[in-house]
């Protein structure tokens, strides 16, 4: 019986419990005022718990694989200069942008094994995260990872239109493994991955990714960038 319930009884991220508790209190108050309002509160409480779900993931462990840091849709693949505050230079790198809507899991995961070389937070605006200008103007937490071969890979958490809190638990010089949880963004957002020079993405525009599971690039592959079509 427990195995049957495992897909339903998904753990909730610790950051979500205060929100779930707050929604539950509101639900009780609404129910005391008028029973139908209590049902509305129950639905909102359930949605809040659903938003902060933190399901386990099975991460491919072969060295060199770059794993998606976020659940969502690959919305942009294009050359772009990494955030200046990371100090990775002015050369454009291939940027893979994964957009998360309010129904996606919002727990973010490390894309590749390495060491945290730099962390930089920058306050900003709250444009829709699906817009290209969100990379430049929105609130963001930028992370530079140093890989075993000396190359660097950047991950950027970007707040969206309704996102108002970016959490990043990483520390400078921390050793990390692909698939490990490192933070989350509340209520709609985007995560950008800047691949090392010469590395082509193995996902296509519009593809759905799963954090900690979907391979978005292979550091050792010579395969050209992939393209896809709706079928």
The set of catalytic residues is: 189
What are the residues whose beta carbons fall under 8 Å from the beta carbon of 49, sequence distance 6 or more?
Answer: 12, 16, 20
CB-CB contact of 110 with 177 (8 Å): yes
Residue with tokens 């359930």: 46
DSSP alpha helix (H) spans, 83-211? 134-137
Which helix (H) or strand (E) covers residue 23, if one does?
Answer: helix 17-33
DSSP structure class, residue 224:
P
Check if the beta carbon of residue 109 is closer than 8 Å to that of residue 211: yes
Residues 6+ apart with CB under 8 A from 46: none
Give DSSP secondary structure letters for 171-208.
Answer: -TT-EE-TT-EEEEESSSEEEEEEPPTTPPBSS-TT-E
Burial class (CB in 10 A: 0-12, 13-18, 19+), 205: middle
């Amino acid at each position: 019986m427990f195995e049957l319930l495992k897909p339903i009884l998904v753990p909730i991220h610790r950051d979500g419990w205060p929100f779930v508790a707050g929604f539950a209190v509101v639900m009780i108050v609404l129910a005391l005022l008028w029973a139908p309002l209590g049902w509305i509160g129950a639905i909102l409480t359930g949605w809040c718990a659903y938003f902060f779900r933190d399901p386990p993931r099975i991460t491919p462990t072969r060295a060199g694989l770059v794993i998606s840091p976020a659940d969502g849709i690959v919305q942009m693949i294009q050359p772009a200069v990494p955030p200046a505050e990371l100090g990775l230079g002015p050369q454009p790198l291939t940027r893979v942008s994964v957009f998360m809507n309010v129904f996606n899991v919002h727990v973010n995961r490390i894309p590749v094994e390495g060491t945290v070389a730099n962390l930089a937070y920058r306050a900003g605006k709250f444009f829709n995260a699906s817009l290209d200008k969100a990379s430049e103007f929105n609130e963001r937490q930028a992370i530079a990872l140093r890989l075993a071969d000396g190359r660097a890979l950047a991950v950027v958490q970007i707040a969206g239109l309704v996102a108002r809190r970016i959490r990043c638990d990483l520390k400078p010089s921390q050793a990390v493994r692909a698939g490990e949880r490192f933070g989350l963004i509340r209520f709609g957002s985007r995560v950008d991955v800047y691949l090392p020079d010469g590395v082509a993405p193995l996902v296509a525009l519009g593809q759905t990714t799963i954090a900690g599971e979907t391979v978005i690039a292979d550091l050792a592959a010579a395969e050209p960038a992939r393209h896809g079509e709706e079928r």
